[in-house]
Structure 1
Amino acid sequence: MNFRAKELIAYFKQVVEVIEDKKDYLCELDRKLGDGDHGVTMSIGWQAVNEQLNNQLAEETDCGKISSTAGMTFLNAVGSSVGPLYATGFMRGGAAVKGKTDLDDKDLADYWIAFAKGFRDRSTAEVGDKTMMDTLIPFGDVLEKTYNETKDFVQSFSQALEAAEKGMTSTKDLVSKIGRSSRLGERSLGVQDPGATSAYIILSTFLDYIKQK
């Protein structure tokens, strides 16, 4: 696969649209577990990224710079705990493809593996804590393992996304252990974690984008 800088910009713009579309749904999930603003928070972050995509990054050809700038912009726009996590993910991904205008299968695998590891390094949460890490840790692990075996990025990303989806849906059966929702105890059972859901949305939008391509 040949994935160009302008396609990375187009993918990020697609995320902006999908997050806007799912904003109310994410807030609805968060109302059952937290303060009900996760969708708004994600929207604010991605709208700020969109502003950069339309201006400073509109003609940018360095995939690393596009991703790193998106990460820093998200962090600056969002004060909540997700800001540093997404910033680290997108900046680590950006560092993995720094200076590249075209990404091949290996570059794309390196990008998304670095993205997932960024979250893992920055977060204190593990699988089972009912957070976005229930989506992102399985995703990163399966992507790295499968790509190393197959060297086929689309197949590896597809399998990683299946693992991410299982992780996301598993949060319905978990009790929150971290953050505000942990005060709910057993009452947090039966609700899908909003952070795990938005992380899955961002990943699944990438597969949708490359399939359209």
Structure 2
Amino acid sequence: MSQHSVDNAPKHVAIIMDGNGRWAKMRGRPRLFGHQAGARRVREIVRACPDLGVKYLTIFAFSTENWKRTQIEVAGLMSLFRRYINKEMQEFVAENVQVRFIGDRPRLDAKLRNLMDEAEAQTAHCTGTNLTIALNYGGRDEVARATRLLAEDVAAGKLRPEEVNEETLTRYLDTRVLPDPDLVIRTSGEARISNFLLWQSAYAEYEFVDTLWPDFSKEEFARLTGAYSARDRRFGAVKA
């Protein structure tokens, strides 16, 4: 990618990683085989970010709705998350990747929550790619939780009702330390946003691609970020 393209690259890319189950089914394997392949793909995409000018990468790992899946698949995913975080922690540090998690943590098991806390603490000093993993995350749930916290502060007299606006609410979101996503990618051919970063992606560009997540390559990632770089973004304004 040229220097001009990197300069105009999306600084924050969010990805709905879809298609692991179908990828596994096409190979006659269980769904968890696809999730394992998808986890390996994450590493390649994280490593591609610096050369593409992407500073922030947010991935949708497990939604608040995913609890509706079979108990076997949910248990397998939770085990995969624990192994992934444990295995990748030193890699994140070595590659200067800062890791954070968003979502409603209390429903997750204590061992997984402890690993999440440890990963955040161990990579807090890293200054390279910012990797945010959405785990037990839902956009509406996030806004509801933020609103509840905001209401508690109003009730406690820490905030006046007339001070509540878009900027105020943003400070209560899980993503309060992150810029809004510039580009949201969804793999596997589905063209919906599935309750992902609803508030934050109000002005994001969207790309829906047919590729199943385990097949999503760094070359395709580069093509999509390159296409974004050529777009004219006006945020509701009109150029003179």
The one of the two structures with greater contact order (alpha-carbon pairs below 8 A, sep at least 6) is 2
Name the structure where helix makes up a greater proportion of residues: 1
Name the structure where strand makes up a greater proportion of residues: 2
TM-score normalised by length of structure 1: 0.31
TM-score normalised by length of structure 2: 0.29
The structure with the largest alpha-carbon Rg is 2
